[in-house]
Chains A and B, each alone.
Chain A
Amino acid sequence: DQQVKQNSPSLSVQEGRISILNCDYTNSMFDYFLWYKKYPAEGPTFLISISSIKDKNEDGRFTVFLNKSAKHLSLHIVPSQPGDSAVYFCAATKYGNKLVFGAGTILRVKS
């Protein structure tokens, strides 16, 4: 039973345009959500997070949106750069002790 789903295995975007990565969850008890970025042969690195009491959080080119009623979050990258090409994982937690990860979306930014 996948509690966190990333339904797009891959996404291809032109450099300079917006990348939108989506994530859906089923457990309404989740209260904190995170995005991680992973390059090949490296460990995931934390990108941005959002608490369930907010609906938006920004950090430079990265913005995460949370729609609790739809149990949906998205990561926007504007503008996209070739160095953003990586696998992006969304993750969710309730009370912070364990993260549940989605399967990941491969982002390719074409120059």
Chain B
Amino acid sequence: NAGVTQTPKFQVLKTGQSMTLQCAQDMNHNSMYWYRQDPGMGLRLIYYSASEGTTDKGEVPNGYNVSRLNKREFSLRLESAAPSQTSVYFCASSTGGGGSYEQYFGPGTRLTVT
């Protein structure tokens, strides 16, 4: 039982390049989330998927797209990377209801855009 896994762990991009961050969970959770963490800012929600087949914008969605590929997988795409997207990205999942709101996080992807 691996929980939430993310690939890659580290990535360096040049401005304008594109990439996809991958996330998978094996806890049969309905909801999945993408966050970014910047110094002094806490974790900010980029996009989330309340259930398979749905996605919604979070607090900071500009410059990103997401795909909920199936119940297990939720990917985040940067179409044209910018230095402002240098950050640590976390994927998380949760049951999505039933009075239990805890989210479980992956280990993160550290992205640098030069």
C-alpha spacing A36/B94, complex, angstroms:
14
Contacting pair A46 B42 (CB below 8 A): no
Pick from A4, A89, A97, A103: contact of B48, CB under 8 Å: A97
Residue of A nearest to B38 (CB): A103
Interface centre among B35, B44, B96, B103 (most CB of A within 10 A): B103
Q: Which residues of B contact A51 (CB under 8 A)?
A: 99
Of the stretches A13-21, A37-45, A75-83, the one at the interface is A37-45
**B104 close to A (CB within 8 Å):** yes
Within 8 Å of chain B (Cβ to Cβ): is A101? yes
Q: Give the shortest distance, in Å, between A99 (CB) and chain B (any CB).
A: 6
Q: How many residues of B contact A (CB 8 A)?
A: 26
Task: Using C-beta atoms within 8 Å of the partner chain, give the interface range for chain A.
Answer: 20 to 34
Which of B45, B48, B58, B108 sits near A42, CB closer than 8 Å? B108
Q: Are B48 and A101 in contact (CB under 8 A)?
A: no
In the complex, A34→B101 CA distance in Å? 9
Contact A49 B43 (CB under 8 A): no
The interface residues of chain B lying within 8 Å CB-to-CB of A46 are: 102-104
C-alpha gap A40/B92 in the complex (Å):
17
Chain A residue nearest to B43 in the complex (CB):
A101
B61 interface residue per 8 A CB criterion = no
A96 partner, pick from B33, B44, B97, B106, beta carbons under 8 A: B97
Within 8 A of A (CB), among B34-51: 35, 40-45, 48, 50
User: Which B residues contact A (CB, under 8 angstroms)?
Assistant: 4, 31, 33, 35, 40-45, 48, 50, 58, 90, 92, 96-97, 99, 101-108
- Ordered by A's residue number, 13 sampled pairs between the chains whose C-beta atoms are within 8 Å are A9-B40, A41-B107, A43-B4, A43-B105, A43-B106, A44-B90, A49-B102, A97-B50, A98-B58, A100-B45, A101-B42, A101-B44, A104-B42
